Structure 1
Amino acid sequence: VTLRATHLLIVLFVMDFLGVLQRGSTVAHAAHLGGMLGGVAYVRFLLGRPRGRRAWHWPKIGIMRRRPTVVVMAAPAPKFRVSREPRAERPVELPPEEFMQQEVDPILDKISSKGIHSLTERERRILEAAGRKITR
């Protein structure tokens, strides 16, 4: 006799369910039902979904609903940098004496009148460059 596992499951479930309703039975029908439920859950969730046209399905409630898969893709890193500022021209290399007079002296005057905290980032870079030129 050829019998599908799902048909056997249904027949045994009905037999045990009717046994639960019957009084005075010494068989633990509720334990059989619990074992069936555990076996169905094992087959369903641990061994994968049954396939084919006649595959049975759990009702889609609560936790068992399948959530849509979200794929997050990072944007590729740009190969160039876009800036709204005009491109700075390369400064002309001045001789050390002229560099000190044109660039550094006004910054030192500003420090003495307003303090070192009043310097801009560009002025700080000029002072660092002057320090490097002096130590060479």
Structure 2
Amino acid sequence: MNYFGRDFVKRWPYQEIAFREGVTPGVKYLLIATAVAFVVQLFLDRFTNGLFTQLYAGLSLEGIRHGRVWQLATYMFLHGGLLHFVLNMLVLFFMGPETERALGTRHFVLLYFLSGILGGLGWLLISSASWIPCIGASGAVFGVIGAFAALFPNRMITVLVFFILPITLRAWVLAVGLAAMELVYLFNADGGIAYAAHLAGGLSGYVYGWTLSHGMSESLRGVTSSWTRPTLTVLKGGQDGVMPSKEEIDAILDKISRHGIHSLSSQERKLLEKASHNL
């Protein structure tokens, strides 16, 4: 069998997804785009005394009031310094590829932008300073963390607390812990960090990942069907009581490798589950 092989079929329908080495296309292009945008930001802010970020590309309530709705997308490609940029890109680099393999590239990119946009809207709802811009990919990156926790809740992850102390914990514990910290800071800390964007983005990512991973994505896929629905034709068959052929299972696994688990129809899921019971 291709890609996942027999080991994947044996684990179906559990949420563990086989891992392939390397950076995935969606993650790669998001990393490149964000790096280029960061350099452009530094250059333009230097020659405009910060007006590029302050008035045009950073997200602010005043900007939205003046019709600059593009700020909901551009703000997530800007950062408040090198450390801010590096931390966000490290999380995307390490947690993004496996999430993308599970969802498929198109759904992953949609997840990233949706989390960033909803994170920005969440920040706008509670922002007390209408002219101070919000910048950074943190809302989108928290969406990736949320989706990862939904897809692989029991995956063990090692994080460096204060960049020194290594702690290993399950993905769902990490997500809950981060959410709790963000809530505490949201109501007790001063401005400077967009905690509301983190929370809204993370929640959006979790809901998106959970919905797709639990096979209840028909309505969600319908909204984006014009550009997310794969065109690959998969062999049908496998009537009740008939064991699906190796060719049918290979075709289904190929479809997963190209488009993610969410792309399977209910009939294809039944065929794959039936095959797992016979291994």
TM over 0.5: no
Query: TM-score, normalised to structure 2's length?
Result: 0.17
More strand by share: 2
Query: TM-score, normalised to structure 1's length?
Result: 0.33
More helix by share: 2
Bigger Rg, structure 1 or 2? 1
- Comparing both chains, which one has the higher relative contact order based on Cα–Cα distances under 8 Å and sequence gaps of 6 or more? 2
